[in-house]
């Protein structure tokens, strides 16, 4: 009869063998595994995959990929839609693990910003935070987020947080609340550790010949699970990242030019604000975390901190991140914001 310790040892051995098998696969084979897992997530939530929209945005016709849950799972829900904006070099699929908790009372729309995910490069070659915010609003308008529900929430991660601020500044009449997760946007926000890497000729967020996809993933996350995943999928992550390395370098340079947001921008929006940070973030200093202290923390300004979490709370701790965000939404005056 196997003891509990023996069973755990046997399970560990199976996991090690399985991990070694996956890690030994070629980049294309690892990509196939990733595609199957992603397809499973889409199917699980009955979300159509591969959706794109074409809309006039400024002087150009933009093509953007997106996913849309179309309606809340709860039929009589009064929750407003949530527009989800991903981070630099990420894509709409980084939000899939949060669909289950957030989609109960809210319609969810996640867009691949220009040059990211399945969205092509920008027709005008512009990737500034403000221009990406314009694109996000074109998508929101095209998908009629503001048509029936009288506004929607905007939730952004990292670069997507900066985009969300610019979005809300320009369209505060539509935005019911602003959510910022490990948000960028302010000058001098990158950590000293990040700048040390830049001085070594390495941008930790961009896969290059001297920086693999696995190393990038380990840099932005902080957990044994994601360390393991970074090792297992290194070939695929590196192959995928190298294909966009030059474009990502261009995008990063333009994003840096727009690091000029401040508390005054949040004050000008005058909307309930949710701010969440991971204590082990190696990429950005928690500049926005001080906003609630300056404004007065309460129902209309909520700060959440996740200990032992890196730069990607929506991947590392999606359940806790979603719970904190929903607690914030549920605390809002229903008639005005929620």
Dihedral sign of CA atoms 107, 43, 322, 33 in order: negative
Q: CATH code at 304?
A: 3.40.50.1820
Evaluate whether residue 224 is within a structural domain: no
The tens-digit pLDDT sequence of the chain (338 residues) is 444 444 334 433 433 434 445 455 556 777 788 889 899 999 999 999 999 999 998 888 999 999 999 999 998 888 999 999 999 999 999 999 999 999 999 999 999 999 999 999 999 999 999 999 999 999 999 999 987 668 999 999 999 999 999 999 999 999 999 999 999 999 999 999 999 999 999 999 999 999 999 999 999 999 899 999 999 999 999 999 999 999 999 999 999 888 899 999 999 999 999 999 999 999 999 999 999 887 766 668 999 999 999 999 999 999 999 999 999 999 987 655 55
Q: So what's the pLDDT on residue 102?
A: 97
Total Cβ atoms within 10 A of residue 268: 13
Evaluate whether residue 315 is within a structural domain: yes
Provide φ and ψ at 261, rounded to 5°. -80, 155
Q: So what's the pLDDT on residue 35?
A: 87
Residues near 215 by beta carbon (within 8 Å), at least 6 away in sequence = 204, 230
Evaluate whether residue 17 is within a structural domain: no
Inter-residue contact 146 to 242 (CB < 8 Å): no
Burial bucket for residue 31 (CB in 10 Å: 0-12, 13-18, 19+):
middle
What is the Cα–Cα distance from 205 to 249, expressed in whole angstroms? 9
List residues bridging with 57 in a β-sheet.
60
Chain position carrying tokens 């906003």: 291
Using alpha carbons, select from 67, 109, 113, 110 the residue that is nearest to residue 89: 113
Query: Residue 46 to residues 39, 42, 61, 115: CA-CA distances in angstroms?
Result: 10, 6, 29, 26
List residues bridging with 156 in a β-sheet.
85, 180
Using alpha carbons, select from 43, 42, 111, 120 the residue that is nearest to residue 81: 111
Burial bucket for residue 312 (CB in 10 Å: 0-12, 13-18, 19+):
buried
Q: So what's the pLDDT on residue 19?
A: 46
Q: So what's the pLDDT on residue 12?
A: 38
- Domain of 164 in residue numbering reads as 48-190+256-330
Evaluate whether residue 309 is within a structural domain: yes
Q: So what's the pLDDT on residue 216?
A: 98
Q: So what's the pLDDT on residue 1?
A: 45
What is the Cα–Cα distance from 99 to 82, expressed in whole angstroms? 11
Evaluate whether residue 30 is within a structural domain: no
Q: So what's the pLDDT on residue 118?
A: 97
Q: Please list the alpha-helical segments (H only) found in the chain.
A: 4-23, 27-44, 99-102, 129-142, 159-170, 192-199, 213-220, 224-232, 234-243, 245-257, 263-269, 291-295, 313-316, 318-330
Lookup: tokens for 226: 């994601």
Evaluate whether residue 180 is within a structural domain: yes
Lookup: tokens for 66: 């997106």
SS3 290: helix
Provide φ and ψ at 77, rounded to 5°. -65, 145
What is the Cα–Cα distance from 9 to 197, expressed in whole angstroms? 39
- Structural domain count of the chain: 1
Lookup: tokens for 85: 């904006």
Burial 38-49 (b: 16+ CB within 10 A, else e): eeeebeeeebee
Query: Residue 215 to residues 197, 210, 226, 259, 307: CA-CA distances in angstroms?
Result: 12, 10, 11, 26, 22
HSE-up of residue 210 (Cα within 13 Å, Cβ side): 7
């Amino acid at each position: 009869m196997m003891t509990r310790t023996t069973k755990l040892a046997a399970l560990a051995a199976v996991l090690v063998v399985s991990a070694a098998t996956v890690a030994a696969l070629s980049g294309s084979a690892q990509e196939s595994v990733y595609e199957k897992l992603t397809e499973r997530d889409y199917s699980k939530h009955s979300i159509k995959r591969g959706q794109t929209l074409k809309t006039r945005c400024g002087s150009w016709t933009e093509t953007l990929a997106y996913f849309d849950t179309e309606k809340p799972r709860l039929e009589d829900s009064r929750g407003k839609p949530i527009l989800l904006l991903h981070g630099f070099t990420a894509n709409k699929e980084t939000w899939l693990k949060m669909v289950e908790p957030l989609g109960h009372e809210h319609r969810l729309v996640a867009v691949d910003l220009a040059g990211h995910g399945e969205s092509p490069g920008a027709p005008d070659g512009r990737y500034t935070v403000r221009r990406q915010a314009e694109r996000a609003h074109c998508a929101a308008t095209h998908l009629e987020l503001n048509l029936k529900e009288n506004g929607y929430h905007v939730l952004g991660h990292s670069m997507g947080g900066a985009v969300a601020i610019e979005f809300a500044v320009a369209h505060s009449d539509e935005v019911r609340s602003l959510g910022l997760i490990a948000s960028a946007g302010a000058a001098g926000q990158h950590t000293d550790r990040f700048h040390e890497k830049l001085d070594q000729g390495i941008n930790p967020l961009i896969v290059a010949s001297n920086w693999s996809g696995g190393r990038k993933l380990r840099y932005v996350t902080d957990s044994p699970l994601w360390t393991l995943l970074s090792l297992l999928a290194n070939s695929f992550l590196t192959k995928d990242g190298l294909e966009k390395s030059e474009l990502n370098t261009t995008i990063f340079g333009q994003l840096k030019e727009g690091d000029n947001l401040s508390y005054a921008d949040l004050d000008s929006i005058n909307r309930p604000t949710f701010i969440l940070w991971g204590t082990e973030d190696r990429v950005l200093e928690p500049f926005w975390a001080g906003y609630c202290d300056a404004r007065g923390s309460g129902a209309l300004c909520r700060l959440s901190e996740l200990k032992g979490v890196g730069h990607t709370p929506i991947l590392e701790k999606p359940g806790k991140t979603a719970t904190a965000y929903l607690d914030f939404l549920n605390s809002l005056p229903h008639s005005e914001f929620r």
